[in-house]
Each structure stands twice: as C-alpha cells, then as structure tokens.
C-alpha cells in the first residue's frame, strides 16, 4: 500500500532540509573565517616573539651580559611546548636551540641563507601532519647570533578544540532546530487537518461543524472561507429542501383538483351542463403544472449551461399588450387594475428573443399579481431613449426589506416563508436574471417596505451581431 505523504511531513522535512543546508553553509563559512583568523593570530605571535627576542639580545649586549645570562633569559621567554627559537651564526651553524625538538623538523638551510642575506621569511608548512608557522629573520650584524628562526606549533590542537566546540554546538543546534521545526510544522498542519475533517463532514451534509480559526494569516483566511462556504451551503440546502417541498405542494394541489374533478364528472356528481366550467378549471390547473415543469427545465438548462436565445427584431409594445390581455382573468379575480404607458407614440421594437422576453415579463407580471392587494394598481411602462429600451412593472405590494433584496435573484429564495400567498417556487426571478444576462441587458429592483416593488429592465437599442448571440447558444 502506498504511504500517504501528509502536509506535516512535507513541511517538516522541507524546513529541516532548508535549516540544515543553511547551517552547513554557515559552519563552512564561519570555519573558513576562523581558520584564516587563527592563522593570522599565529603570524602576529611570530612577530611579537621576534620582537621580544630582539629586545632581549639588544639589552644583553648593551649591558655586557655573558652567554649564560642570555641563554637563561631566552629559556624564560620560550614556551617549548608551542614555540621554538633557533639562533644561527654567521656561517649558518646552529648556536642555540630553545625547543623541545633536538633538531628542526624541516629543512631550514634555505631560509637561513635568505636571512643571512638580510631577507626576512615567514612561512606556513605541514610536516608529518603537523602545521608549523615559522619566521627566519636577520639580527644585528654586530651580534654573534646573525639569524633567528622562530617556529610556532600547536595549530592542530587549537583547531581541534574549535572543531569539537563546533561539533557540540552543531549537535545542540540540530536537536534544538529539529524540535522547533517539529512543533512549528505541527502547529501549521493542525489547522489543515482540522479543515480536512470539517470538509469531510460538509461532504456528508453536516454543516454544523465549524473550523476553529486562531490566526489571521492565509490559513486563517482559508478557515473563514470554509466556514462561510458551510453557511452558504447550509442556506442553499435549506432552500433546496424548501423548494422540493414547495414544488411537491404546487404539483400535488392541481393534480388533486384535476383528479377530483374527473372522478366527480365520471360518477355524475358534477352535472353535465357544468362540465365545461370544470374543464376550464382543469385547463387552468394543467397550465400551472406546465409552467412549473417549464421552470424546472429552465433551471436544469441554466445549471448545465445549455440555455440559449434566438434573437429577432419584433414589436415589444404589442407583446406587452398581449401579456396584459392574457392575465386579464387573474386581474379580474384579484380586482386589480393595470395602467400601460409609453413615451413613444408608435410601437417600440427591440432585437431579442421574444419567447424568453415573454417569459421574463410574464414572471414579473405574475409576481406583481401575487403580491398586489385587492383593488390594487399595477403600473406597466414601456419607454425608449437613444441608448436603450426600458420596461418597468410596479406593484403596490408589501415591498422588500433591504436585506432581502440582495437574495431575490438566488435560486429557491422566497420572501413569504409561511406561504401565506401563492407566490411560486422561488426560481422565477433566478430564471429572469439569467435570461436578462444572456441578452447583455440589465435589470434593477427598487422596493420600499409598505410601498410596493418596481422591476425595471434595460435592453440596448443597438442591434447586436449574430456572432454575439451565437456564443450564448
């Protein structure tokens, strides 16, 4: 079975690798600088020791000290464990050896000859795995000692001690860094694991779970987004369930009525001379069912991205007049009046899909009828200016609150939750908005609680190209 790689593992090893790489680079650079600095310290020590020896010899000769006193003084200056002092005569012969070495551990004749010629030589050599810093320098020509050679050793011991310190510091740093990175990676990955668990609950339809947000960074923003998504999904799920209940109710009511009428007609409960009246009632109920099914099909087309429009140039004014005539029975039933006005003497034409625009206007008119009080007035206006054609439908219903207006285009949204009025399934305005968008038109709503609602459609006057509408198909 393939092992799952968690975000914690990726974060931890990424941070660990990056930290180790940075640490190794730092150690390499630091050790290089330290080595150079240590070499410089040894070189400075050579010059300092040379100066001490020169001063000692000068003072001894000025005071007329004998050889034994000079040797005693130089023995006191020397540190045989780490420093060696060799004095040579004019012929290059070794006069004094203040060192733990019986003889020099390297070939010195070349350097002594250079010093006898007045040249000072400073070198760093390795002999048998040992690093030695030495200096060969000429002395006062009036001295018996003509050349002084000073050698400093012990570089390896100093470097080894520092390597040990570096190694110990490195081990402590690595352990501390690993622990720190482990904790940090855990803290970063923990909210992501929590989000994953919560997201799985959302997938099961349980929207009660919430992500605990403890930061304001990108992870915290993601947590807030998940919580917001859950809120929206819960609202959508609630509306979907309500929609299913509403559709079931709206389909069952006319079917029950039609079934009752048919049974009553068959068993003779309804006299034959009243059959025509009840057939009209059944026709109205089936018309309601057809509209409901068409709305459901439109919603399915919208969700699948398959709704299309077929624009032509046609008489919008005549379409509005026919729509008003078609809803005349419902207007009469609600004792409603309709006023139709226009700012043009002649009929107004537009370039659009007449069937879809009729669907839009029919939905808006049906909304106005549903929400208008008895003996109310519905105002319909068709206008045109240089840029666009404007159609508005205004009712005298209860109006919308400001917080409701931003949701009216959402699928399944219904204002009257208690279904106190016969106001549809909550998908009509969503279809309206989509059709208007397909026409690259605009629709606005203006509503005040207690003063009715006004929907206004703006459709451009210019005739779009066929290619423009073809991309919506």
* Domain coordinates in residue numbering, the chain: 7-162, 240-301, 307-470
340 by DSSP, 3-state: which? strand
* Residue of 358, 378, 359 whose CA lies nearest to 315: 358
Q: Lowest-confidence range among 248-257, 279-288, 321-330?
A: 248-257
The token pair that represents 251 in the structure block? 């389909």
CATH fold group of domain 307-470: Heat Shock Protein 90 (3.30.565)
**pLDDT over threshold 90, residue 17:** no
| DSSP H stretches of helix in 305-344 | 316-326, 328-333
CA dist 325 to 162, 169, 392, Å? 102, 93, 17
Looking at residue 347, its pLDDT comes to: 92
Grade residue 199 by pLDDT with cuts at 50, 70 and 90: confident
In this structure, whether the domain defined by 240-301 belongs to CATH 1.10.357.10 is answered with: no
| Residue matched to tokens 């304001």 | 216
Residue 295 and residue 431 in contact, taking contact as beta carbons nearer than 8 Å: yes
What is the phi/psi pair of residue 160, to 5°?
A: -65, -40
CA distance 139 to 142: 8
Looking at residue 322, its pLDDT comes to: 93
Better-predicted residue by pLDDT, 44 or 260: 260
Q: In terms of CATH, what superfamily is 7-162?
A: PAS domain (3.30.450.20)
Looking at residue 162, its pLDDT comes to: 76
What is the arithmetic mean of pLDDT over 112-116? Answer: 81
pLDDT digits (tens, 9 = 90+) for 212-233: 777 777 778 888 888 888 888 8
Mean pLDDT of the chain, nearest integer: 80
**pLDDT over threshold 50, residue 155:** yes
Looking at residue 118, its pLDDT comes to: 82
Helix axes 428-438, 275-304, angle to 10 degrees: 50
> Over pLDDT 90: what percentage of the chain?
17
Q: Lowest-confidence range among 96-100, 208-212, 430-434?
A: 96-100
What is the arithmetic mean of pLDDT over 154-159? Answer: 71
What is the arithmetic mean of pLDDT over 436-452? Answer: 90
Better-predicted residue by pLDDT, 196 or 317: 317
CA distance 373 to 396: 7
Parallel, antiparallel, or unpaired: how do β-strands 337-342 and 377-384 relate? Answer: parallel
Angle at the Cα of 312 from the Cα atoms of 306 and 313, rounded to 5 degrees: 150
CA distance 438 to 309: 7
Grade residue 470 by pLDDT with cuts at 50, 70 and 90: very low
pTM: 0.50
**pLDDT over threshold 90, residue 442:** yes
Looking at residue 79, its pLDDT comes to: 55
């Amino acid at each position: 079975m393939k092992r799952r790689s968690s975000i914690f593992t990726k974060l931890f090893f990424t941070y660990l690798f990056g930290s180790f790489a940075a640490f190794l680079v730092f150690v390499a650079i630091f050790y290089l600088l330290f080595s150079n600095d240590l070499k410089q310290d040894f070189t400075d020590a050579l010059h300092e020791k040379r100066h001490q020896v020169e001063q000692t010899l000068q003072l001894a000769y000025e005071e007329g000290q004998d050889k034994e006193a000079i040797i005693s003084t130089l023995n006191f200056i020397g540190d045989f464990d780490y420093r060696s002092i060799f004095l040579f005569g004019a012929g290059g012969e070794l006069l004094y050896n203040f060192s733990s070495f019986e003889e020099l551990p390297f070939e010195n004749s070349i350097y002594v000859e250079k010093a006898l010629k007045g040249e000072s030589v400073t070198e760093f050599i390795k002999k048998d795995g040992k690093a030695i810093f030495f200096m060969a320098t000429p002395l006062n020509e009036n001295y018996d000692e003509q050349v002084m050679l000073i050698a400093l050793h012990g570089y390896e011991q100093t470097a080894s001690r520092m390597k040990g310190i570096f190694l110990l510091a490195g081990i402590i740093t690595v352990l501390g860094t690993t622990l720190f990175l482990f904790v940090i990676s855990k803290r970063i990955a923990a909210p992501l694991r929590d989000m994953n668990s919560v997201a799985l609950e959302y997938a099961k339809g349980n929207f009660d779970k919430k992500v605990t947000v403890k930061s304001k960074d990108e992870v915290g923003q993601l947590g807030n987004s998940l919580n917001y998504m859950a809120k929206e999904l819960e609202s959508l799920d609630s509306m979907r369930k309500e929609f299913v209940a509403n559709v079931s109710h709206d389909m069952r009511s006319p079917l029950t009525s039609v079934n009752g009428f048919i049974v009553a007609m068959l068993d003779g409960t309804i006299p034959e001379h009243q059959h025509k009246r009840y057939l009209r009632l059944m026709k109205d109920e089936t018309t309601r069912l057809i509209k409901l099914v068409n709305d459901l099909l439109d919603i399915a087309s919208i969700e699948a991205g398959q709704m299309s429009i077929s624009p032509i140039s046609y008489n919008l004014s005549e379409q509005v007049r026919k729509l008003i005539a078609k809803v005349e029975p419902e207007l009469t039933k609600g004792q409603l009046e309709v006023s139709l006005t226009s700012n043009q003497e002649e009929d107004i034409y537009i370039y659009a899909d007449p069937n879809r625009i009729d669907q839009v206007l029919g939905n808006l008119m049906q909304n106005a009828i549903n929400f208008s009080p008895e003996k109310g007035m519905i105002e319909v206006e068709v206008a045109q200016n240089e840029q666009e054609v404007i159609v508005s439908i205004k009712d005298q219903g209860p109006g919308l609150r400001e917080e409701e207006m931003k949701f009216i285009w959402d699928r399944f949204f219904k204002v009257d939750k208690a279904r106190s009025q016969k106001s549809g399934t909550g998908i009509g305005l969503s279809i309206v908005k989509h059709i208007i968008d397909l026409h690259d038109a605009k629709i606005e709503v203006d509503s005040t609680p207690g003063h009715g609602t006004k929907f206004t459609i703006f459709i451009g006057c210019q005739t779009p190209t066929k290619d423009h509408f073809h991309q919506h198909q």
